Amino acid sequence: MSGQMQSAGRSTHYKWIALSNTTLGVLMASLNSSILIIALPVIFAGLKVDPLAGGQTGLLLWVLLGFNVATTVFLVTFGRLSDIFGRVKLYNLGFLIFTIGSVLCSITWSTGTAGELELIIFRLVQGVGGAFLFSNSAAILTDAFPSNQRGLALGLNQIAAVGGGVLGLVIGGLLAATGEWRWIFLVNVPIGILGTIWAYVALQEVPVVKKKHRLDIIGNVTLGLGILGIMLGLTYGIMPYGTQSMGWGNPFVIAMLAIGLLMLIAFVFVEKKVAEPLFHLDLFRIPAFALGNFSNFLGALARGGLQFMLIIWLQGIWLPLHGVSFANTPLQAGIDTLPQMVGFLVVGPLSGWLSDKYGTRAFATVGMLLSGIGFYLLNTLPVDFSYLPFALYLVIVGVGMGLFASPNSATIMNALPARYRGVGSGMRATFMNAGQMMSMGVFFSIVIAGLASRLPGAITKGLTAQGLPSAIVKQVASLPPSSSLFAALLGYNPLQAMVKPQVLDRMPKVRVETITGHTFFPNLIGPSFMHGLSLAFIISLVLSLAAAVASALIKSRTPVEDEVLPEPAAVAGD
């Protein structure tokens, strides 16, 4: 379908209405993901949660990841439904559900573990709304814009998704500074109400083909169980099990990973057999769609866990080393990561506009190469770095991501036959979200493995030198490294929390001040943390280079306004 045919019967400015509304929706959902990372200390303090209590690591991770899990599980399903019932209708429903979920999060009434469980459930509700928004925004834009302007439109939309994630760090820090955790979720409500009304009034539905459709129930179930199994396995794999610091030997973890993998394999076979599949595997016969999604997944896998690792580095180690109290690190950490957002926001729109004129391949390829260079440079920094090179390296990563985002999205969406844009957009978003979630699990596993191998020895040596009794030293050193890491992230001084007050009361004042000061724990955990983080940076470098190669293999071409995109053989008969 040509761009002219798509926009027939609409005013010339409708495409800008579609762009502004979908950008608002994606921005809101992306803000919601990262705003929580920075605001975790004030949220957990408001819920009266002890981060060192048993089982808190898993709950904390699910508060963080529940939104993305729900979004990823439902993305393709909702994309398929939108192709059947209308993209605008389901996009608008997503705005409404997300807003309701935000209200529910803000009125979480319980405290302790019960409050965490309620918050996780309400985050899942938000995730369902986010799935409607993410699965339809790119399809709505592709319908509204002619092919020679989609790079700019999709680029701006993608910038809202990635840039919103970085902006959320700053907003989260500002809201956390107020001390009222409920504002973290209430901030979404006015945006959600405005977006819901605006989408209902202003967006125009593209007529859907009237025919009988059957939902791929088995495909939905196998995909959902596959993603859920993998995420459960990754989540509980980094938690202690018995006497082990990590849970990779836990039968539950092994079972979940095995079930998840088997369900994903079964999903592939199911999709080859059903008449109307959830995942149109034949779309991967279109080279640009296949390679574009592959590079999209690799890029998300490379960067997904980066933001969280940087925040832990800043909040738990670097800022305390520079005299910032654990309680005041969230806002400063958000501010310190701004260079990445600046690089992305400056380059992203320009990349989309230029790729419409000169083709997408070069911009996407150079973008991932730059991101890889940024990861390499970050790996050269010591644990107590100078801020200027750190900021410069973040700018390089941000510029690389900005160069890559819109050309990659335009490549994928331009390759799709018009009637598969809803499901294709959902597939694209699924690969990106799945990559980001897997990245979180992989990065955490690597970093905590590094801590488990080195931190107990560092704690033993450091506390023994301060004259603590050997029994106390052994007890503190045996605590799970994940607990120490999350305690620092949540604004607690871990050693002050782990060493009992009656022990500290019997010690000389100068040693108590040393142990509970800003720099003692960061100096203990720093080298162990960097051991794992260095490996994570190297993995991100390799993944970025692989994404660059995949992007370079895509045939570069400038879309033609009246071009009719080819239908793969199996899809054409659907």
Output the CA angle 280-286-292, nearest 5 degrees.
Answer: 95
Domain boundary (259, 277, 295) is at 277
From 161, 74, 60, 170, select the one nearest 409 (Cα to Cα).
Answer: 161
Residue 186 domain-assigned (yes or no): no
- Tens of pLDDT along 80-129? 787 777 888 888 898 899 999 999 999 998 888 888 899 999 999 998 99
Helix (H, G, I), strand (E, B) or coil at 573: coil
Two tokens at 2? 């040509």
* Cβ contact 109:43 at 8 Å: no
Kindly state the average pLDDT of the residues 224-241.
Answer: 82
Around Cβ 171, how many Cβ atoms within 10 Å?
19
Q: How confident is the model at residue 211, as a pLDDT?
A: 56
Q: How confident is the model at residue 55, as a pLDDT?
A: 65
Domain boundary (236, 257, 277) is at 277
Task: Say how many domains are in the chain.
Answer: 2
Band (pLDDT 50/70/90 cuts) for residue 246 is: confident
Residue 484 domain-assigned (yes or no): yes
Band (pLDDT 50/70/90 cuts) for residue 541 is: very high
Q: How confident is the model at residue 365, as a pLDDT?
A: 92
Residue 494 domain-assigned (yes or no): yes
Residue 477 domain-assigned (yes or no): yes
Residue 253 domain-assigned (yes or no): yes
Amino acid at 270: V
* Cβ contact 4:109 at 8 Å: no
Residue 218 has pLDDT above 80, yes or no: yes
Domain boundary (524, 542, 565) is at 524
Residue 244 domain-assigned (yes or no): yes
Distance CA 105, CA 531 (A): 37
Band (pLDDT 50/70/90 cuts) for residue 208 is: low
Residue 214 domain-assigned (yes or no): no
Residue 223 has pLDDT above 70, yes or no: yes
Give the residue numbers spanning the domain of 271: 220-277
Helix (H, G, I), strand (E, B) or coil at 241: strand
pTM, two decimals, is: 0.79
Residue 425 domain-assigned (yes or no): no
Kindly state the average pLDDT of the residues 253-268.
Answer: 93
- Tens of pLDDT along 373-417? 999 999 999 999 999 999 999 999 989 988 898 888 888 888 887
Distance CA 445, CA 442 (A): 5
